[in-house]
Amino acid sequence: MNRFEPNLRIPGPTSLPDAVREAGARQMVNHRGPEFAVLQNSIVARLKTNFRTENDVLIVTAAGTGGLESAIVSFLSPGDKVLGITIGAFGDRFAKIATTYGADVTKLAFDWGTAADPDKVREALKAGGPWKAVLMTQNETSTAVTNPIQALAAAVREVAPDALILVDAISGLGAVPFETDAWGLDVVVSGSQKAWMVAPGLVFVSVSPRAWEAAAVAKMPKFYFDLVAHRTSAESGQTPWTPAVAVMFQLDVALNLIEQEGQAEVWKRHAAVGAAVRAGLTALGFKLLADPKFASDTVTGAYLPDGLEWKAFNGTLRKLGLVVAGGQGALKGKIFRIGHMGHVTIPAILNAIAVLEVALIELGRPVTPGAAVAAAQVAALKSLGLAK
C-alpha cells in the first residue's frame, strides 16, 4: 500500500467513477437489436443537452483524432480554402488532417500558451478566401489554454458568414460552459475519455444543417468516417459499423451521473478544481504555461524549473501514485501537465498537490510543507464563493 491513493491526473483517459467502470463489464447485446437502439437514442438525446444543440449528434467508434478526421472528410472537398487556427499540437493536427485530404489550408498560428485573437482571425479571413471552413480548438490539451470560441466564431461569422466552423472540443466539452447553437458552431467534436468520464473508444460529432448541405457536395474520399452514413444509421438507432458497445454502456451511466449533478454544477466543479490546481502549482513555485486569462479548467501545464529534470520528477511522482503527463512537441521535457476533467474532485486535486509537495521535498527543492495544499484549498473555496 501507498501512503497516497493512485491518482491518474493526465488529460485523458481520465479516471472513471465506479458505476461507470462497472458498466464496462456488462454482457454484449445485439447492436442491430431494439435494446441497443433504445440505448443509443437515449444517449444521443442526453449528448445533445450537453452539447447545447438541436443539431444531430453522431457517435463514431474511434479516438478523438478519428472524430477530427470525420469532421474534415465529411464536409470538405480537395482544394477548399480552409483557415486552420492553431494554438498548439492539436490545432496543428486538425490542420494537418485537412491538408492530408487536399484542402488548401492557411494556418494561423499563435504562440503556445496564448489563446487565438479574434482580431487576428478577422484580419486573416479578410486577407484571403473565399473560405469554405475555419478550424478551431476549444481546449488545446498540449498548452492548457481554452480559446474564446464565442468571440472567434463571431469573428468568422462577421467576415465569412457562410464558412463552416469546425471545432475540436475533445478535451473541454462537458466540463466548461459551451454553446453549440448559440455560438453558431457547425461541427463540434468531443471524445468519451475526457470530460465524459468514460473509457476511450467513442467520439461524438454534432452537425448543423449548414454542414449537412456541405456534405452533399463534399468530395474528399471517405468510408469509415463518412458522417452521412452515420446519420442514416442513426435514424434507426444504429451505427453503420459495429460500435464499441461496452463503452456505450459506460457512457449511458456517465450521462446519468452528469444529469444528476447538473450541468451548471459540473461547470462550477471544474472551475473550482482548475483554480485549485493553478493556485497550488503557483504556490509550489511553478510558472504556468497558459495565459492566465485563458487558462484551461480541464488541464494545467507548468514549466519545469532549472535543475528539475522531467524523468526524475515524473519517477518520483509515479512512486507516490501520481500520474501526470509530460510536454508534447516543442514542449517535450520542458513542462508537465495535470489533467482535471471529468471525474475530478477537490480532494483529488489536494492529493495531487500534496504529492507534488512531497516529491519536491524529496528532490531537495525549497518547499514549505502544507503551503501549496492550503493555497489550492483556498482557491477552490473562493471559486465556489465559500471564501473571500
Look up cell 471559486; give the residue: 383
Paired strand residues for 205: 58, 189
Closest to a copy of itself by CB, 132 vs 230, is 230
* Residue 193 touching a copy of itself (CB under 8 A): yes
Closest to a copy of itself by CB, 254 vs 375, is 254
What single-letter DSSP state applies at residue 319?
Answer: H
* Residue 88 touching a copy of itself (CB under 8 A): no
CA distance 163 to 252: 34
Tell the smallest beta-carbon distance from residue 276 to a copy of itself (Å): 22
* Residue 237 touching a copy of itself (CB under 8 A): no
Instruction: Name which position in 1, 3, 217, 221 contacts a copy of itself (CB under 8 A).
Output: 221
Q: What are the residues whose beta carbons fall under 8 Å from the beta carbon of 313, sequence distance 6 or more?
A: 304, 336, 359, 363
Cis upstream peptide for 34 (omega within 30°): no
By CB neighbour count within 10 A (0-12 exposed, 13-18 middle, 19+ buried), where does 30 fall? exposed
* Residue 346 touching a copy of itself (CB under 8 A): no
* Residue 43 touching a copy of itself (CB under 8 A): no
Closest to a copy of itself by CB, 203 vs 373, is 203
By CB neighbour count within 10 A (0-12 exposed, 13-18 middle, 19+ buried), where does 235 fall? exposed
Closest to a copy of itself by CB, 6 vs 209, is 6
Task: Print the binding letters for residues 109-148 with a copy of itself: x by CB under 8 A, - otherwise.
Answer: ----------------------------------------
Identity at 211, one-letter amino acid code:
A
Binding span for a copy of itself by CB under 8 A among 25-33, 210-218, 269-277, 295-303: 25-33
* Residue 49 touching a copy of itself (CB under 8 A): no
Q: What are the residues whose beta carbons fall under 8 Å from the beta carbon of 191, sequence distance 6 or more?
A: 12, 63, 64, 67, 170, 171, 200, 202, 203, 204
Give, for 57, the enclosing helix (H) or strand (E): strand 56-61
Instruction: Name which position in 220, 279, 341, 378 contacts a copy of itself (CB under 8 A).
Output: 220
* Residue 244 touching a copy of itself (CB under 8 A): yes
Secondary structure (DSSP) of 243-298: --HHHHHHHHHHHHHHHHH-HHHHHHHHHHHHHHHHHHHHHTTPPBSS-GGGB-SS
CA distance 36 to 166: 29
Instruction: Name which position in 4, 212, 224, 303 contacts a copy of itself (CB under 8 A).
Output: 224
Binding span for a copy of itself by CB under 8 A among 18-26, 260-268, 350-358, 374-382: 18-26
* Residue 32 touching a copy of itself (CB under 8 A): yes
Residues near a copy of itself (CB under 8 A) are 6, 8, 10, 12-16, 21-33, 61-66, 69, 96-97, 100-102, 191, 193, 199-201, 220-225, 240-247, 250, 318, 323, 325
